[in-house]
Amino acid sequence: MKKPSGLKMAVIHMGLSLMCMVTLYPVLWVVKMALSPSDGLSLTANPFPDAVTFDHFRDVLLGSDAQGRWVFGRQVLSSFIVSGATTVVGLTLAVTAAYALSRFKFPGKEGGMQALLVTQMFPATLMLVPIYGILQKLRLLDSLTGLVLVYATTALPFCIWMLKGYFDTLPRELEEAAVMDGASPFQVFIKVVLPLARPALAVTALFSFMTAWNEFVLAATLINDPTRFTLPVALQRYVGEYKVEWGKFAACALIVSAPVMALFFALQKHLVGGLTAGGVKG
């Protein structure tokens, strides 16, 4: 195979470098606002701060509310509880449903799968009024439990289709061999199928966690206690009607983004395999 010429490679590298610069420029702007002493919005094209300070991060991490309570730590904990519980509940329900849809034949299977797709056509805000009414009757308003149930419910269709597509790619012969060796259906599922589906489980868990971690509208509507706010709702308090605290807003945005970035780096080896295989037959 003929290797590309040096000029062609140089053009390719220059194009890729330019794309990276364009992609990173907004991120550098956010970092600049977080590290700049000023709390205003700088309109200069330079994405690097003239002076560096960590005062905005200190104000965000150690700031208190109107009653003098330190709420940021509780908000971080609330975000981790909601996102973690949503991931566990959603993944537990989705993995069993996806395996049943992939391996078994039963009445209503095709209709059920199509119904799951139809639910994805409507945004969560469209269901906000009935969700609010249901949680009010169940006395789960302004509680993390109610928020977890809402997030897990809205994440289920995506999780089921994602895992179902991956289970379709797994050879049935492995399960049949385990049955021949005396394994029960539950043992086949736990000891054969789930270990093979680890990439898809990692991707599905990551997207479930990200959805719950970044969601704003439902959390802002269903939660009223500032100590139970998730981080996106806490981030909004720096945007006032007449004033925006850009420095603190940028610092809080970087803090909110850090856990998701860490998860991406931790699970990156599973992302490509889980995404491509999960979409083969899904």
Q: What is the CA radius of gyration of the chain?
A: 23
Cβ contact 274:199 at 8 Å: yes
Q: Give me the mean pLDDT over the 119-147 stretch.
A: 87
Helices (H), the chain: 6-35, 55-62, 72-103, 109-119, 128-137, 144-169, 172-180, 185-188, 194-196, 198-214, 217-222, 231-236, 246-278
Cβ contact 244:237 at 8 Å: no
Predicted pLDDT at 273: 58
Q: What is the mean pLDDT of the chain?
A: 84
Q: Is the pLDDT of residue 102 over 80?
A: yes
Q: Is the pLDDT of residue 215 over 80?
A: yes
Distance CA 58, CA 62 (A): 6
Tell me the CB-side half-sphere exposure of residue 258, using CA atoms within 13 A.
12
The answer to whether the Cα torsion of 210, 214, 218, 224 is positive or negative is positive
Alpha-carbon separation of residue 239 from 42, 205, 245 (angstroms): 16, 31, 7
Q: Is the pLDDT of residue 279 over 50?
A: no
Q: Give me the mean pLDDT over the 215-221 stretch.
A: 90
The answer to whether the Cα torsion of 194, 197, 198, 202 is positive or negative is negative
Predicted pLDDT at 270: 67
Predicted pLDDT at 202: 86
The torsion angles phi and psi of 46, rounded to 5 degrees, stand at -70, 120
3-state SS string for 235-258: HHCCECCCCECHHHHHHHHHHHHH
Residues forming a β-bridge with 239: 244
Cβ contact 36:247 at 8 Å: yes
Structural domains in the chain plus CATH codes: 73-274 (1.10.3720.10)
Residue for token pair 């850090």: 258
Cβ contact 209:263 at 8 Å: yes
Predicted pLDDT at 182: 85
Closest CA to 95 of 162, 174, 172: 162
Q: Would you place residue 281 in the very low, low, confident or very high pLDDT band (cuts 50, 70, 90)?
A: very low
Q: Is the pLDDT of residue 6 over 90?
A: no
Q: Give me the mean pLDDT over the 112-140 stretch.
A: 85
Predicted pLDDT at 280: 43
The torsion angles phi and psi of 98, rounded to 5 degrees, stand at -65, -40
pLDDT tens figures, 44-65: 777 888 888 888 888 888 877 6
| 36-75 CB burial, b ≥16 within 10 A, e <16 | beebeeeeeeebebeeeeeebbebbeeeeeeeeeebbebb
